[in-house]
Amino acid sequence: MAISPARAAACEILLKVERDRSFSDELLHAERFNKLSSIDHGLTTDLVRGVLRWRSRLAEWAAEASSQKLERLDPEVLVALLLGVYQLKFLTRVPARAAIFESVELVKAARKRSAASFVNAVLRKVAAGDGAAGTQPARDLFAAIEASPDPIALARNSAHPEWLVTRWIRCYGLAATRQICIHDQHVPKTSIHVCEDEALDLLARDGVKLGQGRLVSFARTVVSGDITRTGVYLGRRVAIQDEGSQLVALLVGRGNRILDCCAAPGGKASLMARRNPGALVLACELHVHRALLLRKLVRMPNVRTVIADARSLPFSLGFDRILADVPCSGTGTLARNPEIKWRLKPEDLGDLQKRQIAILKSGLAQLVAGGQLVYSTCSMEREENEDVVEAVLDGSSDFTLVDCGTELARLEREGEISAGGIETLVDGPWLRTIPGIHPCDGFFGAVIRRK
């Protein structure tokens, strides 16, 4: 009996995430895995994201049933083991014998045959619920998250690093942090923006059912169907983009010369270009391969791609609208990128902040008088958000902070965002969306105007 294509692909992707620090989302959409059937690709995605979301709990269950310390296992053995535990605990439609057998076969295929009996024994214990390994069914985890009284319990039950949960509680409170953690452990909704109106009819013909966006008026959410297999999606007539990301692009407003400092993969640049058809949109990207991807994905005729370092922008012409959506920790996107929470360390935030400050200063230098810059991240961390803006504006008399609430009210009047609830999107002068509280990823935004 051969290993199923879905499990083989999931194992390969998880090993690349582990060894090469690759990102699961990019790997899942890589050309190499396009040959998978829609059903197999769906199972591969479930396995990869599920193992990454629940990694610490899966390791705990495995360790309770194991006679060896997991940190001593070869990566191939550990990945096969965690894949098996995830299926046994979370995928009730998968027979236990199939989950165990294929995990053992994955170990053999990786030329780790000596570990096959070990993986078999551990998974059989987990399946039988022997000892501590079976004391908490996966279906009870969300109830445990909602009842978690402190950072230690909440981090353990929700499979999040304790240091991250502790700082979120300090910043957002225990109740909101529970909702963030619950959101992170669910499959997020797929949101799109439509590049051409007729694309909606074509998607319906392809069996894709859409719902109305809850935050951005022209956004749509995928209710059912595989949008990535449709001609409309492959032809770049719709783009997958979180509603929070779309909101940040809307916040930039309208202008004649627009600069996107860190543009790849191009979702925000494309949206800004479509809203400003008569404007020049300059899309900057530091890395050549990402710039090539940007050119491939963004088809708007008024977008120009430039390879440049956003920390030292080389332009002489000024811009009346600028977006500085800077590289960040991505802690607002853990539902989509769960591997981030296992890689990120507290000390990383300081290094990111230095780069973010440099990009913001460089972007502001390109702003004409009266022009506006939107600084944004998909991070939940203050070091990357308020602290960056305040550090750059401290002592400056050339720039002023614009209240995001005023800009959101304008978008509401223009019908571009849903009516009502603006007050929940602002925190002082800042835009802030919180996963689990708002129907999108976690984003921060600040609007800065040159006097």
Q: Which of 181, 284, 328, 378 is catalytic?
A: 378
Active site annotation includes 171: no
Find all residues with CB under 8 Å of 356, minimum gap 6, and list them. Answer: 326, 327, 328, 377, 384, 388
Catalogue the active-site residues. Answer: 378
